[in-house]
Amino acid sequence: MSYTEVPGIRVPIRMWTDPATVEGQAMQQLRNISSLPWLHGLAVMPDVHLGKGATVGSVIAMNGAVCPAAVGVDIGCGMSAVKTSLTAKDLPDDLSRLRSKIEQVIPVGRGLHTDPVDPRKLHGFATAGWDDFWQRFDGVAHEVKWRRERAMQQMGTLGGGNHFVEVCTDSTGAVWLMLHSGSRNIGKELAEHHMEVARSLPHNQGLIDRDLAVFISDTPQMAAYRQDLFWAQEYAKNNRAIMMALFQDIVRREFPKARVAFEDVISCHHNYVSEETYDGVDLLVTRKGAIKAGSGDYGIIPGSMGTGSYIVRGLGNEAAFNSASHGAGRKMSRTAAKKRFTAEDLAEQTKGVECRKDSGVVDEIPGAYKPIEKVMAQQTDLVEVVAHLKQVVCVKG
């Protein structure tokens, strides 16, 4: 489908979904965003839903400003996936051992590594720039510098919520490895620090929603935020790279006779800021729950833990600021899902998937998400499907 244009306060809102199906609070958030004086354009993805401050599934292009809430607290959160030389026939009937090995090697929830992962010990891991990355931690906000040791131990860990590690198969039977995570606690603390600073600035006092407070170009506050933002985005990318390397090593050990080979890893952020040019104007484009889908860009759009995911290639639609959805998108809150569904419902909806089926992850039940097939059908002008994946193992935090 193409987009529907909805009137905004200062600029129109381009929506790749039926506006009538979007919850009222989310629509109000979008209208609030459309009132920002620095806004150049606003695109809304089909997985749109209510978020803190800024709506999840929104692409916000600003001229000379950036809104920390439009990135979210998990700076650089995103996906990585890689196709292997294994096929479904290589997988054992009982996948519980493989799931257990993943959980042993990659800490989940609030877990961390006892000792920081040494990337030099990981098979084929590119370590160029690793020392420089950690040296640049000394330049981040003073308020979080004491978190260095924890940040190093959390590098290569999953976290909780909707983060996951999966083994999938595609329609040809090929096995894929896929994971979803971000910048862990250090990204959260940096985000919350800068959101608080932004809310205190004089130019933000008259906004409709103070959670939409921005930093303005050529100010000390913007310079400090950009430094910490881009470092946290790099942390998230490195975090996924470390996890993927650990994941690949697990698979090599579990299938030694297969001599498993891996294609190039596909990786993409879906909570981040990028410097891009549209309409001849240099802009700061914030994607909160959206991926870059420029012409030829590979991306990953996951469904819920029982419905499968898509590997896609961007079509370069500039009306959407070269973006696409980041997943299926929630249709109910975590609290609502816990009230509505039971562990028995979860077991029923995740039949055939080796995963947790207890009350601790009921809020991630497929029924709490929008149908991924419908979401994909609404963005055929944004991406083309390269592969359709179905998970057979899913590790949650």
pLDDT digit string (tens) for 102-137?
999 999 999 999 999 999 999 989 899 999 999 999
Compute the chain's Rg from CA coordinates: 20
Give the CB-side neighbour count of residue 18, counting CA atoms within 13 A: 4
Q: What is the pLDDT of residue 397?
A: 78
Angle in degrees, CA 48, 26, 75, rounded to 5: 60
Q: Which amino acid appears at position 348 of this protein?
A: E
pLDDT digits (tens, 9 = 90+) for 267-320: 999 999 999 999 999 999 999 999 999 999 999 999 998 889 999 999 999 999
Q: What is the pLDDT of residue 2?
A: 85
Rounded-to-integer distance, Cα 374 and Cα 45, Å: 12
Four-point Cα dihedral 145, 150, 152, 153, nearest 10: 180
Active-site residue identified among 163, 193, 326, 388: 326
**Which secondary structure element, helix H or strand E, spans residue 348, and what is its range?**
helix 343-349
Q: Is the dihedral of CA 105, 88, 359, 179 positive or negative?
A: positive
Q: What is the pLDDT of residue 1?
A: 59
Rounded-to-integer distance, Cα 397 and Cα 390, Å: 20
Question: Is 140:101 a contact under the CB 8 Å cutoff?
Answer: no
Instruction: Determine the number of helices (DSSP H) and then strands (DSSP E) in the chain.
Output: 9, 18
Taking the chain (397 residues) in runs of 10, the rounded mean pLDDT of each run is 92 97 96 97 97 93 97 97 98 97 96 96 92 93 87 97 96 98 96 96 95 97 96 98 98 96 98 97 98 98 93 98 96 94 96 95 95 96 98 94
Burial of residue 106 (CB within 10 Å: 0-12, 13-18, 19+) is buried
CA nearest 286: which of 215, 334, 219?
215
Rounded-to-integer distance, Cα 117 and Cα 249, Å: 13
Q: Which amino acid appears at position 245 of this protein?
A: A
Cβ contacts of 138 within 8 Å, gap of 6 or more: 145
Q: Has 326 been annotated as catalytic?
A: yes
Rounded-to-integer distance, Cα 52 and Cα 130, Å: 33
Rounded-to-integer distance, Cα 95 and Cα 228, Å: 40
**Token pair 């877990």: residue:** 111
Residues found in the chain = 397
Q: What is the pLDDT of residue 283?
A: 98
> What does the block give as tokens for 74?
């998990």
**Token pair 């809150």: residue:** 333
